[in-house]
Structure 1
Amino acid sequence: MRVPYEYAIIRAVPRVERGELINVGVVLYCQRLDFLCARTHLHEQRLLALDPNADLDNIRAALKSWEITCAGGTDGGAARELKQGERFRWMVAPRSTILQAGPVHMGLAENPDAELDRLVALLVH
C-alpha cells in the first residue's frame, strides 16, 4: 500500500548573497509510518566551484546535524522535545543560512526509506 510523504531538498548556498546553490541532501517525512530521515551527500568539487573558500568541515558537520535532528537529537536538546512532524516543519522553514531546505513536495510510496534513497540518487548524486 502506498502512503503519502513529504520531502524537501537540502541545498548548500555557500554565499547567500549570490544565491547560487547545489543540492546536498533530502529530508523525507511520512507521518503515517512515523518516518523522518535526512540523507546527505556533499559533492566537494561542485561546492568549491561556487565558493573556493567554503568551509567544508563546517558544512559536513551541519549536514550531519540534519540527520541527527531527524533522529530526535543526541544531546537531549530541543529536537528531542519535538514530534517528528514538528521537527520536519522546523527543518524546512525558510532561513538565510548556508544550508537551506527547498520547497516541500509530496508523493506516494510503499517504502519511505527506499523512496528517500531514490530521491537522493535522482536529485543529489
Structure 2
Amino acid sequence: VQTSQIWETPALLISSALIRCCTRDLIRLVSASFVATWEFQTSAVSRDVDTAAMFIGVGAATVGVGGSGAGIGTVIGSLIIGYARNLSLKWQLFSYAILVFALSEVMGLLCLMVAFLILFAM
C-alpha cells in the first residue's frame, strides 16, 4: 500500500506543477493580448512628434484648396478669352465653365474635409 502512495504522490505533484506552469504562461499570453497598444503611456516627445505630424498632414491637405482656387481662376480666364474670340458661343462656354467651376470647387472642399478629419478625428 505504501508503494502505491509513493508512486501516486509524485505523479500528482508533477501534474499539478505542470498545470501551474502552463496556466501561468497561458494567463500571461491572454492578458498580453487583451492590452491594446493605445493604453501604453507614451513620452512627451512621442506625443509632440505625433502632433507635429498631424499638423503637417493638415497643411498638406489644405494645399489642395489653393489648387482649387487656381483652377477656378484658370477656368474664368479661359471663359473670358473664349467669349472674346467668339461671341456666339457665349452660353455654351458659360455652361462648360460652370461645370468645371463646380468640379474644381468640389475637389477643394474634399481637401478641406480631409484636413478637418485629420485635425479633429485622429
TM-score (norm 1): 0.26
The structure with the largest strand share of the pair is: 1
The structure with the largest helix share of the pair is: 2
Bigger CA radius of gyration: 2
With a CA cutoff of 8 Å and minimum separation of 6, indicate the structure with the bigger relative contact order: 1
